[in-house]
Amino acid sequence: MNLLDLIYVPLGVLSAPLWARKKRNGWGERFGRVEHMLRHKPGHGLRVMLHAVSVGEVNALRALVDRLVEDPKIECVIVSTTTDTGLARAKMLFGECCEVVRYPLDCSWMVRRFLDAVQPSVIGLVELEVWPNFVKLSVRRDIPVCVINGRLSARSFKGYRKIRPLLKRTFARLRVCCVQDEEYAERFRAMGAKDVRVTDSMKWDSVDTQRAAGGATDRAYSIALAMGLDLTKPILVAGSTGPGEEALLHAACPEGAQLVCAPRKPERFDEAAAAMPGCVRRSAEMPAPSGTVRFLLDTIGELSSVYELADVVVVGRSFGDLYGSDPIEPAALGKPVVIGPSHSDFETAVRALLKADAISVADRDGLRKELVRLFRHPAGGKTMGERAQACVRTHQGATGRHHALLVELGGTAG
């Protein structure tokens, strides 16, 4: 037990009433007992561990994982994640080609137990998940730890800066920090990181601008058929919605258009359904009656396909006090995309799309007007989507740079 553990334990006890309110699975795994999650014992080859906190970070790894598992120098890719939804998504995407495990709490004995089981050669932390004990104990074992796809928003930086004396040494222990833009780079350096490189975002690479070039895929059509969506009528898809946004979209959706809402968190499905009277839920597994215009996508892993069906996309968690969701996937599909003013977690992507005139930012009061405009003038929306696809292609390439770095660092492990 070290000084950090002496801080963590009482904090955990004091905060127990808060985190106990939310159902969480896998407590043994959170304590570092992940042996049963591993299918193969470690050999002598290169073992690359990628840590992605939740669903968004897991999705960003798709292109990188594809490259890593095909690399003959790599014996195994391990994807770790923290949340239950992130774990489910990681198993869905990577369960057949990677080891998928749950990331441990940051108490030293839990981290040691985890590292003993996983035995990584190199660790890539996706975006920013820098825990002091995990980084320190990994480095002590001569395991290089780097940040890939790094970002540190202004909001997060404000909080991190307050505890900089406690985290400066942790950031200094990171071998390399690959970040999405120069603004993030300055913040990483301010926190004590030594080797900081601007490599753009892997999220641009996690999408395929040609995926639905010939129209929606068979999977998208099968979901539409199962839900009862009328493909002859306009469809508005709202992805990763947050509290209060389903009601906003219900009111703002133009007459004659069908609305499909996909809440970001499963625990909000019932709340979202109540905000859209008469909606049909995907989980009901039966087609909607004729004339239904409100649908709830209350499943995990299907939003990507449903985006293909959209005439217009609204990106959620951006019209309230949250910080936005990822607009890159619908942009890559060539859809006209609308996002709210609260999108600081995706500021880099939104800024790039705005510069290309490939996304629309609307506030709550102006949302309906903007949606009406896009549905009335589909040619303008089509042009916006084409510009969005071109913007995505311009920013792709970070995955290859991260792949090369992980292999290089893994080869230097002690």
Residues catalogued as catalytic: 57
Cα separation of 20 and 32, whole Å? 19
295 phi, psi to nearest 5 deg: -135, 145
Nearest to 118 by CA among 47, 52, 61: 47
Q: Contact, 49 vs 126, CB < 8 A? A: no
Cα separation of 379 and 367, whole Å? 19
* CB neighbourhood size of 156 (10 A): 15
H or E segment and range at residue 315? strand 312-315
**How distant is the alpha carbon of residue 144 from its chain centre?**
24
**How distant is the alpha carbon of residue 132 from its chain centre?**
23
| C-alpha atoms less than 13 angstroms from C-alpha of 305 in its C-beta half-sphere | 15
Give the CA angle between residues 116, 119, 120 to the nearest 5°. 145
Cα separation of 207 and 137, whole Å? 35
Cα separation of 263 and 317, whole Å? 9
Alpha-carbon radius of gyration of the chain: 22
What are the structure tokens assigned to 354, written together?
Answer: 């705005």
* CB neighbourhood size of 357 (10 A): 12
* CB neighbourhood size of 278 (10 A): 12
362 phi, psi to nearest 5 deg: -135, 145
